[in-house]
Amino acid sequence: MLQPRAARWFEILAARDDATRVLEALARTGLVELQARSGTGIPAELGDVMQPLAQFAELAARYRSYWPDAAQCQPSAFPESPGATLQRARAVVRAWAQDAEPVIRRLQGAEAEAAELQLWQGVLPALAAQVHPGCGLAGAGPLLQVRLFVLPAGVDADAALPLGTPGLETLTAPLAHHGPPRLLVAGAPAALQALAQRVGALKGSAHEVPRWLTGDTDADRRQLDERLAARQAEVAAARAALATLHERHGLGAALGDVARLQWLLSNVDALESGPLFCHITGWCSEPGGSRLAQALHDASVRALLNFPPPPADLGPPLLLVNPPWARPFEIFSRALGMPSAGDADPTPLLAVVVPLMFGYMFGDVGQGLLLAAGGWWYRKRWPVARMLMAGGLVAAVFGLLFGSVFGLHGALPALWLHPLQSPLPVLLAPLFGGALLLTLGLALDGLAAVWHGRWKLWLLTDAALVVLYLALLASFFVPQAAAVATAAMLWFCIGHAVHGERLGAALEAAGEAVEKTLQILINTLSFARVGAFALAHAGLSSAIVALMDAADSLLAKGLVLVLGNALVMVLEGMVVAIQTTRLVLFEFFTRFMQGQGRAFRALPAPPYPPQET
């Protein structure tokens, strides 16, 4: 669990005609990363379709919005060669486009008219309340015309538009009925044209008054409903006609075949392919490989799966192997890069340390439980929220130790102490915890030395630094420990001299020991900020309580308490999260983390449904 696991090398010998289906079956498992042997390139037949496939994007740009959904574009069960597939698909799309073009034009016209009618459907109720029925909006012109302007949400019409200029007259206040504000303006054609340009610059739109608008609200509403129903029927008929054309021309299968080619070119960089067989190689994240074999069997492909030793010149990608409760904390290990095969993965340790540091700095029962509830609510949408849930629960525990509930100290008896009444223990406790954490980091470095086979060198050199660090810490309480620190310094210097087989290495090691010791002592002092933020949290909570006590009414007291706690949770929550991340990455990880491994990246699944066999 502490050591990343290397992915397993696999090789598949597949019939050349089944290669695409084999790749699809592998990708849908989410267990493989493709990697060809050195010197292997992309097959020529795939390279030849790159440019024609890019030209296909021109057809897609014109017609994509009228094509069937991706879920309906199932590729052919038995793929042809890439060139033949693309040629056939382009012919299908062009034949479909020739028949569909008149239908698309009818659909576009009907949709545009329906959208215009729906706009006036929202305006009519408000228009009837502000404009006199006999004003004759539709009959205005040519010297005086009327336009309806739709403004973007949040735009102040008076500030953004020149409505007070000569030649323009605003007939209504903004008509904000179930949507963005709308404004009816009368004026000379030139003035209205200038206003339309200004509204267009603001991402708004201008609309002419319909000729059928009579001013009789009831009659206009009936006529509008009839016209809208007719346009919607035209839209439905046009879409049904397009669906018929999709079926007649086999458009879904053609688009699925093109999507398959695009997926192959995007994800397959190299592949060994011959006249009859195809050699597919890569890495599998499943130790046993049974799910891979089952996927090939279910796909009914002609393929032989084997798990030989990997080529000597290819390094395997790595996977972090952690229990489900610790996986959200893998984000810290990946932040500095993937641990190499011989490095330790501290994720299980961080699953304990990170909530402890967060909860100590944010110790409050009520606030902690609210944070935990928020993390639980969003745990499926954002897996990182599970860290917030753990941190919130620990914060609630420290809230019990500090006797704090929503900043109210004394509402519960403090099981340990009140931070502001005993600040020194609050500052010292994180120092002891930080020293323990850094010692564990040094121990993880020693464990990595054992895995890498350099444990003898570690015993001669870096093991002495561990003893030196612990002896210096102990000397604050036991002065005799200084002698142990001196002996550890000599151990470090002599060990370097023995390893380097020269006396000068001992002098160089002395300077190195001083530098590294000072660094880790400074790292230890950095953990005092955990206690400092715990005191800051308690101080801010006390300030909120003082403001609440100064309020006159019960309502004001409750408002101050609620808003104050909300402010603390937002601001301090961000600050505490940042400080926790900083201590982990820059104080703890520097003791042992190298981050030189290569993470396993699974082949993405195709964006279309599995083909029928």
Same domain, 356 and 209: no
pLDDT on residue 394: 96
Same domain, 343 and 206: no
How many other CB atoms sit within 10 Å of the CB of residue 265?
17
pLDDT on residue 81: 80
Cα–Cα distance measured from residue 521 to residue 302, given in angstroms and rounded to the nearest whole number: 63
Dihedral through CA 172, CA 174, CA 175, CA 180, nearest 10?
A: 150
Same domain, 335 and 467: yes
Question: Hey, what amino acid is at 537?
Answer: H
The answer as to whether 596 is a domain residue is: no
Question: Hey, what amino acid is at 310?
Answer: P
Q: Which of 446, 491, 440, 450 is nearest to 468 (CA)?
A: 491
pLDDT tens digits for 88-142?
A: 888 898 899 999 999 999 999 999 999 888 888 877 776 666 554 445 555 555 6
- Helix (H) / strand (E) element for 479: namely none
How many other CB atoms sit within 10 Å of the CB of residue 306?
11
pLDDT on residue 388: 92
CATH code at position 128: 3.30.70.250
Which of 158, 193, 220 is the last residue before a domain boundary?
220
**pTM for the whole structure:** 0.74
Mean pLDDT of 340-364: 91
Summary mean pLDDT of the chain? 86
Q: Which of 492, 534, 533 is nearest to 512 (CA)?
A: 492
Cα–Cα distance measured from residue 148 to residue 185, given in angstroms and rounded to the nearest whole number: 6
pLDDT tens digits for 482-538?
A: 899 999 889 988 888 888 778 778 888 888 888 889 999 999 999 999 999 999 999
The answer as to whether 10 is a domain residue is: no
Q: Which of 247, 236, 238, 239 is nearest to 72 (CA)?
A: 247
More confidently predicted of 163 and 541:
541
Mean pLDDT of 225-243: 93
Phi, psi of 168 (to 5 degrees): -125, 140
Same domain, 397 and 534: yes
Q: Which of 518, 539, 534 is nearest to 580 (CA)?
A: 534
Distances (CA, A) of 163 to 153, 156, 254: 18, 11, 54
The answer as to whether 386 is a domain residue is: yes
SS3 269: coil
The answer as to whether 28 is a domain residue is: no
pLDDT on residue 307: 94
Lowest mean pLDDT among 91-100, 270-279, 357-366, 399-408: 270-279
- Cβ burial of 499 (10 Å; 0-12, 13-18, 19+) is middle
Q: Which of 285, 327, 317 is nearest to 1 (CA)?
A: 327
Cα–Cα distance measured from residue 407 to residue 391, given in angstroms and rounded to the nearest whole number: 18
Instruction: Please check whether residue 393 is in contact with residue 402, taking contact to mean a CB–CB distance below 8 angstroms.
Output: no
Q: State how many domains the chain has.
A: 2
Phi, psi of 372 (to 5 degrees): -65, -40
Cα–Cα distance measured from residue 318 to residue 310, given in angstroms and rounded to the nearest whole number: 14
The answer as to whether 216 is a domain residue is: yes
More confidently predicted of 354 and 380:
354
The answer as to whether 41 is a domain residue is: no
* Alpha helices (runs of H) in 378-503, residue ranges in sequence order: 385-402, 423-452, 455-460, 462-474, 481-500
Lowest mean pLDDT among 45-54, 176-185, 489-498: 176-185
Which of 188, 220, 252 is the last residue before a domain boundary?
220
How many other CB atoms sit within 10 Å of the CB of residue 590?
14
Residue 176 has pLDDT above 60, yes or no: no
Dihedral through CA 507, CA 513, CA 518, CA 523, nearest 10?
A: 160
- The tokens for 343 are 């490095």
- Is the Cα dihedral 25, 29, 30, 32 positive or negative? negative
Q: How many CA atoms lie within 13 A of 416 on its CB side?
A: 16
- Is the Cα dihedral 186, 187, 193, 197 positive or negative? negative
**Nearest 5°: CA angle at 234, between 230 and 236?**
115
pLDDT on residue 130: 59
The answer as to whether 181 is a domain residue is: yes
How many other CB atoms sit within 10 Å of the CB of residue 441?
21
Phi, psi of 146 (to 5 degrees): -125, 135
- Cβ burial of 39 (10 Å; 0-12, 13-18, 19+) is exposed
Cα–Cα distance measured from residue 296 to residue 292, given in angstroms and rounded to the nearest whole number: 6
Lowest mean pLDDT among 157-171, 222-236, 282-296, 549-563: 157-171
Q: Which is it for strands 272-273 and 5-6: parallel, antiparallel or unpaired?
A: unpaired
Residue 232 has pLDDT above 90, yes or no: yes
Instruction: Please give the distance of CA 251 from its chain centroid, rounded to a whole number.
Output: 34
* Alpha helices (runs of H) in 462-598, residue ranges in sequence order: 462-474, 481-500, 504-526, 528-550, 554-582
Which of 220, 242, 263 is the last residue before a domain boundary?
220
Cα–Cα distance measured from residue 255 to residue 73, given in angstroms and rounded to the nearest whole number: 6
Question: What range does the domain containing 548 cover?
Answer: 327-410+424-591
Residue 63 has pLDDT above 60, yes or no: yes
Same domain, 434 and 575: yes
Strand partners, 305: 12
Same domain, 208 and 336: no
pLDDT tens digits for 454-470?
A: 888 889 888 999 999 99
The answer as to whether 577 is a domain residue is: yes
Cα–Cα distance measured from residue 458 to residue 447, given in angstroms and rounded to the nearest whole number: 10
